[in-house]
């Protein structure tokens, strides 16, 4: 039910702005309503920031409404100026086309395109933008836009203040408005969802539908998610966390949630989890009473990794995490899972054919300690491990029989500090 859907979104902190709220509720209560969110192919994969709005789309479909996920084969060639202080690098047409295909495949994992009574329909704005000539676009669409209003958009005015904006990116809001108009015409799409930074572009689409078709449409924006320290969600020291397993491994994806700041977990549970309010509140209570147990972290890591990568990959990520810290056997892991887990650790490499250095030399080379004397002290204190087996001698050097899959070694200092060694 729509009333329950919007109340749920409010509870989860997922509504930033809406147009006429009463009219929006009436539209959603009247009939299953087609709605869309656009995803531009600016990289080969979606990332965690995209997941926020994508899961709102999933919630709308579960409530009975019809998703029209749009992959911007046209707008991806132009570049959205929102939130940027400089021009986006334009990618070649064939590159964008390849990324469109990859992102369409990713979207199909989160929405039901076949079995539902309200199946999702994949769309691409290149389908209606490419056939239109420049003159047709200017006469039929461009004439409805006031340059004064376009200049007042935050994404444009901030760029003008910081040095200027090209006509290419300035035109992005017109193209996005054209998308809304075409989806209204082709699929009776009456709602656009998007991040709160898209408000100006979305409202431009509403105005275009009103001027061209004399009709009313709606929009709902979702707050941009920030970490408790004020930094952008979905970023790590290594860069963005991607949904593509080749760009961010399932193990690294699982670890992102497991290692999230304690202060962020209550909000992350509400934003991402599909558990009931009661289940989420119970996890938050457990978290607040004993954050060190990380029960809420683990529950969210399991749910999100299963949703994005599947139950098998989630189980593999959990096995790897346990094995790395001595709670399971390293030999129970397959080579791909172990390699993925070790790739996330500080480490060092040894050229194939060279003698394997001592444990002291290896740990020092990994950067986990800053001197050989510190590494020796760890051995004396009983906190040195190779492949989860305690190292007792300062002169100990691993042999070839210690290599996992003939090429890996796992070093551990104390309970939590890990390093990887690979023979290359």
C-alpha 415 chain-centroid distance: 30
CATH code where residue 282 lies? 1.10.240.10
Q: Are residues 236 and 184 in the same domain?
A: no
Count, residues in the chain: 424
Q: How many domains, the chain?
A: 3
* End residue of a domain, out of 288, 309, 343: 343
Burial (0-12, 13-18, 19+ Cβ within 10 Å), 239: exposed
* Tens-place pLDDT, residues 87-104: 777 888 999 999 999 999
Would the pLDDT of 1 be above 70?
Answer: no
Q: Which of 391, 403, 332 is nearest to 360 (CA)?
A: 391
Q: Are residues 317 and 352 in the same domain?
A: no
Per-residue DSSP letters for 92-158?
PHHHHHHHHHHHHHHHTTTS-SSSSSS----EETHHHHTTS-HHHHHHHTGGG--HHHHHHSHHHHH
pLDDT classification of 84: cutoffs 50, 70, 90: low
What pTM does this model have? 0.88
| 3-class state of residue 390 by DSSP | strand
Q: Are residues 100 and 127 in the same domain?
A: yes
Q: Are residues 218 and 287 in the same domain?
A: no
Q: Are residues 206 and 235 in the same domain?
A: no
Q: Are residues 291 and 188 in the same domain?
A: no
* End residue of a domain, out of 222, 256, 289: 222
DSSP code at position 47:
B
Q: Which residues of 122-137 are buried (b: 16+ CB within 10 A; e: fewer)?
A: ebbbbebbeeeeeeeb
Would the pLDDT of 82 be above 90?
Answer: no
Q: Are residues 338 and 395 in the same domain?
A: no
Would the pLDDT of 238 be above 80?
Answer: no
* Tens-place pLDDT, residues 263-311: 999 999 999 999 999 999 999 999 999 998 999 999 999 999 999 999 9
Q: Are residues 264 and 380 in the same domain?
A: no
What is d(CA 373, CA 363) in angstroms, rounded to the nearest whole number?
11
What percent of the chain stands above pLDDT 70? 98
* Tens-place pLDDT, residues 333-342: 989 889 989 9
Q: Are residues 299 and 366 in the same domain?
A: no
pLDDT classification of 123: cutoffs 50, 70, 90: very high
pLDDT given for residue 85 in this prediction = 64
* Tens-place pLDDT, residues 400-416: 999 999 999 999 999 88
Take residue 139 and report the two structure tokens written for it: 């006469």
3-state helix, strand, coil in the chain (%, to 5): 50, 15, 35
pLDDT given for residue 349 in this prediction = 95
CATH code where residue 58 lies? 3.40.50.620
* End residue of a domain, out of 172, 196, 222: 222
What is d(CA 96, CA 74) in angstroms, rounded to the nearest whole number?
9
Q: Are residues 316 and 387 in the same domain?
A: no
What is d(CA 369, CA 346) in angstroms, rounded to the nearest whole number?
11
Rounded mean pLDDT, 21-39? 92
What is d(CA 20, CA 288) in angstroms, rounded to the nearest whole number?
38
Q: Are residues 296 and 367 in the same domain?
A: no
Q: Give the domain range for residue 272.
A: 226-343
Q: Are residues 163 and 246 in the same domain?
A: no
Name the average pLDDT for the chain: 92
Would the pLDDT of 237 be above 80?
Answer: no
């Amino acid at each position: 039910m729509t009333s329950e859907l919007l109340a749920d979104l409010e509870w989860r902190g997922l509504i930033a702005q809406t147009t006429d709220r009463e009219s929006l509720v009436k539209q959603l209560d009247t009939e299953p309503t087609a709605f869309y969110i656009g995803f531009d192919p600016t990289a080969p994969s979606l990332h965690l920031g995209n997941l926020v709005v994508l899961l709102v789309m999933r919630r709308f479909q579960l409530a009975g409404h019809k998703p029209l996920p749009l992959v911007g084969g046209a707008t991806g060639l132009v570049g959205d100026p929102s939130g940027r202080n400089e021009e986006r690098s334009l990618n070649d047409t064939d590159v964008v086309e390849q990324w469109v295909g990859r992102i369409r495949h990713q979207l199909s994992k989160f929405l039901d395109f076949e079995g539902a009574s309200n199946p999702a329909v994949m769309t691409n704005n290149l389908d209606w933008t490419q056939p239109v000539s420049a003159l047709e676009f200017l006469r039929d669409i461009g004439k409805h836009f006031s340059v004064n209003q376009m200049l007042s958009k935050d994404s444009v005015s901030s760029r003008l203040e910081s040095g200027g904006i090209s006509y290419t990116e300035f035109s992005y809001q017109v193209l996005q408005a054209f998308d809304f108009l075409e989806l209204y015409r082709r699929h009776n799409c009456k709602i656009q969802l998007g991040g709160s930074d898209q408000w100006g572009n979305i409202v431009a689409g509403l105005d275009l539908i009103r001027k061209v078709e004399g009709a009313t449409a709606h929009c709902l924006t979702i707050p941009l998610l920030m970490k408790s320290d004020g930094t952008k969600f979905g970023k790590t020291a290594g860069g963005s966390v991607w949904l593509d397993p080749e760009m961010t491994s399932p193990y690294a994806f699982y670890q992102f949630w497991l290692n999230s700041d304690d202060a962020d977990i209550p909000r992350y549970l509400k934003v991402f989890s599909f558990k009931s309010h009661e289940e989420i509140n119970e996890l938050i209570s457990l978290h607040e009473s004993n954050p060190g147990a990380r029960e809420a972290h683990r529950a969210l890591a399991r749910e999100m990794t299963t949703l994005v990568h599947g139950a098998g990959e989630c189980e593999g990520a959990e096995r790897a995490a346990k094995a790395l810290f001595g709670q399971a056997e390293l030999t129970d892991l397959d080579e791909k899972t172990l390699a993925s887990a070790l790739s996330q650790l500080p480490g060092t490499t040894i050229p194939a054919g060279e003698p394997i250095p001592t444990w002291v030399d290896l740990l020092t080379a990994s950067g986990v300690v800053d001197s050989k004397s510190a590494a020796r002290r760890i051995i004396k204190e009983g906190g040195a491990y190779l492949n989860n087996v305690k190292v007792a001698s300062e002169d100990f050097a691993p042999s070839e029989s210690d290599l996992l899959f003939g090429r890996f070694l796992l070093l551990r200092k104390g309970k939590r500090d890990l390093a990887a060694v690979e023979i290359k």
